[in-house]
Amino acid sequence: METEATPEHLGTADEAGLGGHVRSAVGLLYRRFRSERPEGTLGDTALDVLTWLHKQGPRTLTQLSEDAHVAPASMSQSVNRLTSAGYAIRTPDPNDRRKVLISTTPEGADLAIATRARRNTWLDGQLHALSPEDQHAIARACALLSTIAGS
């Protein structure tokens, strides 16, 4: 086993808690976000994809699946929901016809904006009640954890 590299001495409640706290907080927030989905039949993943497309412009399916860290087949399903609901379209890549570019429709852009606004209504309301330092800590933690998640 890792007789030397295991950092057992980094505090007491700290190490036992940090990873666990991150997991716990992520689970709670994820479920909370999921429950904040009163409109439409689209799930949160599909809405996330729509938001990304709205911000970044057209992406291939493989790119989207890498962004979300899911298998291409999973992303294809999520894109199916978006396209069958009329919020996104698939366009064959003119340079490489194996690829498919996914982009938002005008309705999709509207929904992305509306979704963002609705989400911000609740979450920003909570975040703005915090002190600037707390907000800064959260921003920092998000950046760090996103990097970790993407590694």
Binding residues (CB under 7 A) for DNA: these are: 31, 34-35, 41-47, 60-62, 68-81, 90, 93, 96-100
Residue 77 touching a copy of itself (CB under 8 A): no
Contact 124, 1 (CB under 8 A): no
Residue 71 DSSP symbol:
-
Instruction: Give the strands of the sheet with 88-92, arranged side by side.
Output: 59-60, 100-104, 88-92
Euclidean distance between CA atoms 115 and 111, whole angstroms: 6
Q: Binding partner of residue 113 among a copy of itself, DNA, none, CB under 5 to 8 Å per kind?
A: none
Contact 64, 80 (CB under 8 A): no
Please select the residue that binds a copy of itself; options are 9, 18, 37, 79, rule is CB under 8 A: 18
Residue 25 DSSP symbol:
H
Total site size for a copy of itself, rule CB under 8 A: 63
Min dist CB 46 to a copy of itself, Å, is 12
Q: Residue 80: which residues within 8 A CB-CB, separation 6 or more?
A: none
Q: Binding partner of residue 81 among a copy of itself, DNA, none, CB under 5 to 8 Å per kind?
A: DNA
What is the contact surface with a copy of itself in residues (CB under 8 A)? 2, 5-7, 10, 14-33, 35, 44-45, 48, 51, 68-70, 116-121, 123-128, 130, 134-146, 148-151
